[in-house]
Structure formats: C-alpha cells, structure tokens
C-alpha cells in the first residue's frame, strides 16, 4: 500500500495505490470512485478492505480523494461535479501509468457511480468496464434524500422535532449543508441535472450494476446506448451506509466477494 499525491502541483490529489500481489494475471486494474459527503467517510474502511482483496486477486488498485475532499487539496467549496469528473480522469491515467496495466475497470459507489458515468462520457483510453454499486443517477431525488437525512440528524443531535427545526431555520439554509458538508447552490444545480438520459454515449462495453433495489431506468438507458449490462441484486449492498456500520467490527463479506468477482471480469 503506497500513499502519495499526484496531479497538478497547485492542487494535488491524494491517492493510495495497492499493487497486485501477483503479476501477469488477466485481472484489470481497478479505480475506486468515492461517494460524496458522510457516505465517503462511511465507505473508507470498506473501500480499503475491498482494495486489499482486489490486490490479492491480482488487480492493482487506486483509491483517491476528489479535490475539496479527504486529503486532497481544497476545502468543501472546491468540490464540484465538473472537477470531480476531471479528477476521475486524472486518477485513471495515474493508475495506467503506475501499474503498467492496459485496461482499468472503475467502481463507483453511490454518487461516485454517477460521477463515473459522467467521466466515462469522455471516453478515456484504457477504460475496460464499469461497476456501479447502489448508483445515484437521479440527482433531484438524491438532493431530497440528503436534505431529509440532514434534517433527521439535526433533530437527533438537538433533541428537537423536525417541525420545530423547520420553524427556526430557512429551508435554503438546510439545503446548503448535508451532515456537516457544504452543498452550495452551484453544486445543488449540478447534482440536480444528473439523470439517466444525461448518458448519451456508451460509457463502456460492459457495465455491472450491484444494488439492493431495481435500477431498470438506468439499465434500459445504458443498453440503449450500446452497453452490455448485468445486474446483481444484493440485499446487503447498503449495509455499510450508517454510523453504526462505520464503527462495527464486521463488513458485508458476501458483497465484497461479489464485487471482486464482478470487477475481475470487467476487462
């Protein structure tokens, strides 16, 4: 495991490279695309374990933070959809250069899946396939989900009813933050524009969707632009996404095994 910085010196990205334990296999290199906000924190441990399992199976792996997140340059305000898409493309090239691989499969979790789909529209050299894990591809619904989760957390922390909190605060103020992370008006607008019909070019030849619920609209859209889509229903797919799971000893091993198997075939 090798932590390092890459990209432009004025605004470097932070990454962690996991070299493959065995060389010469057919497994592709794998780029892990983070979700957004508190979900990125919750996903940290499971991404690290997944990277280790992928490396043991023969895939070199790169985990990284977008600008304005984690250990990369910039504060919350520096994060944007456009910049995150650029960051994915930079990380993709860095993984190709570092690993010497000819093909890279991308795994996007939650909003990271939506960002990966947008980045794939640039048709980067060497993109082998996409694995979309509980993908967020309906931006307006995602904004509503974040707003409701933030309101629920405020109610819990301050021991007040949601109705009482709404009486004291402007809805615009509540929309501007989610669980401690800023969501400015420009970012809200960009997230709101995310929807399946924004995908106009084939993202990759092979795409796998792993989720606990149906994503028929997304699957239909991807097949409509020429991708071969496989879906895997996994009831445990969202079990990582809570503060309780963050502090738990165990991780959803069956989900991780499914991800390793699926990503190994995306070349």
84 and 116 inside one domain: yes
Residue-number span of the structural domain to which 188 is assigned: 139-193
Determine the Cα–Cα distance for residues 230 and 209; give it in Å rounded to an integer: 6
81/186 same-domain check? no
Across 146-173, average pLDDT: 86
217-251: per-residue pLDDT in tens? 999 999 999 999 999 988 888 888 888 887 776 67
* Same-domain status, 36 and 130: yes
Q: What is the pLDDT of residue 249?
A: 66
Both 7 and 122 in one domain: the answer is yes
The DSSP bridge partners found for residue 208 are: 131, 230
Q: Where are the beta strands (DSSP E) in 196-239?
A: 206-211, 228-233
Residue 93: other Cβ atoms inside 10 A: 16
The answer to whether 99 touches 60, Cβ cutoff 8 Å, is: yes
Pair 116, 150 in one domain: no
d(CA 30, CA 104): 5
pLDDT, tens only, 77-123: 999 999 999 999 999 999 999 999 999 999 999 999 999 999 999 99
Is residue 170 scored above 90 in pLDDT?
A: no
Are residues 96 and 122 both part of a single domain? yes
Is the same domain home to 144 and 235? no
Same structural domain, 129 and 244: yes
At 25-66, the pLDDT tens digits run 678 999 999 999 999 999 999 999 999 999 999 999 999 999
Is residue 257 located within the same domain as residue 130? Answer: yes
CB atoms within 10 A of CB 109: 30
Q: What is the pLDDT of residues 135-148, one digit of tens each?
A: 999 999 999 999 99
Query: What pLDDT, on a 0 to 100 scale, did the predictor assign at position 145?
Result: 94
pTM value is 0.94
Looking at the structure, do residues 132 and 214 belong to the same domain, yes or no?
yes
Cα end-to-end span (Å), the chain? 23
DSSP state of 130: E
Q: Are residues 132 and 147 in the same domain?
A: no
Number of structural domains (the chain) is 2
Query: Which residue, 3, 58, 28, is CA-closest to 208?
Result: 28
CATH number at residue 87: 3.40.50.1820
Q: What is the pLDDT of residues 6-28, one digit of tens each?
A: 999 999 999 999 999 987 667 89
Burial 143-176 (b: 16+ CB within 10 A, else e): beebbeebbeebbeeeeeeeeeeeeeeeeeebbb
* pLDDT at residue 183 greater than cutoff 80: yes
């Amino acid at each position: 495991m090798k932590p390092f910085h890459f990209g432009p010196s004025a605004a470097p990205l932070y990454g962690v490279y996991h070299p493959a334990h065995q060389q010469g296999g057919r497994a592709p290199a794998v780029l892990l695309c983070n979700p957004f906000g508190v979900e990125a924190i919750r996903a940290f441990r499971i991404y690290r374990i997944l990277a280790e399992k992928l490396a043991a199976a023969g895939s070199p792996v790169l985990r990284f933070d977008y600008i304005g997140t984690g250990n990369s340059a910039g504060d919350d305000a520096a994060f944007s959809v456009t910049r995150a898409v650029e960051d994915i493309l930079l990380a993709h090239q860095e993984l190709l250069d570092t690993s010497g691989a000819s093909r890279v499969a991308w795994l996007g979790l939650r909003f990271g899946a939506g960002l990966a789909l947008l980045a794939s529209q640039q048709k980067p050299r060497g993109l082998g396939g996409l694995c979309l894990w509980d993908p967020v591809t309906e931006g307006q619904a995602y904004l509503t989900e974040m707003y409701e989760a933030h309101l629920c957390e405020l109610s819990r922390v301050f021991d007040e009813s949601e109705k009482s909190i709404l009486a004291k605060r402007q809805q615009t103020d509540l929309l501007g933050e989610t669980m401690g992370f800023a969501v400015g008006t420009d970012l809200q607008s960009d997230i709101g524009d995310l929807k399946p019909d924004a995908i106009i070019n084939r993202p990759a030849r092979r795409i796998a969707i792993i989720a606990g619920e149906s994503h028929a609209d997304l699957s239909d859209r991807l097949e409509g632009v020429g991708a071969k889509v496989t879906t895997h229903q996994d009831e445990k797919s969202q079990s990582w996404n809570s503060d309780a799971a963050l502090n738990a000893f165990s991780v959803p091993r069956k989900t991780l095994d499914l991800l390793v198997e699926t990503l190994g075939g995306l070349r």
